[in-house]
Amino acid sequence: MFGLGIPELIIIAIILLLVFGGKRLPEIGKNLGRTVSEFRKVKKEMTAEKTKGRQQEEEKTLENVNSLENKLINGATDKIPVVKKARTLKEKADKIKDIIG
């Protein structure tokens, strides 16, 4: 533990006892524990927010890539006369289906 042995820890405990007194030492320990706990909580929240932000960025990027891909495919296929005519025929067939039934 930080390169401290038992004798060093005992000396530190005695110094703390002399400086703060026996009555305040448990209170200080409790407050120190709460502080460490709060730091861990904040760290966990920040990590979660960071991860969530990354996921949102990845989703947006994926949506942009898919959108660009669709635009490229549609733009390229619109240039091909056969595909353009097939789409027109499909649209007309869909209109007829809507009228009929």
Average pLDDT, the chain: 85
Statement: residue 39 has pLDDT above 60: yes
Distance of CA 78 to the CA centre of its chain: 39
This prediction has a pTM of: 0.45
Residue 88 has pLDDT above 60, yes or no: yes
Confidence of residue 72 (pLDDT cuts 50, 70, 90): confident
The whole-number average pLDDT for the span 63-71 is 87
Q: From the CA atom positions of the chain, what is the Rg in Å?
A: 34
What's the pLDDT band for 2 if we cut at 50, 70, 90? low
Tokens linked to 96: 């007829």
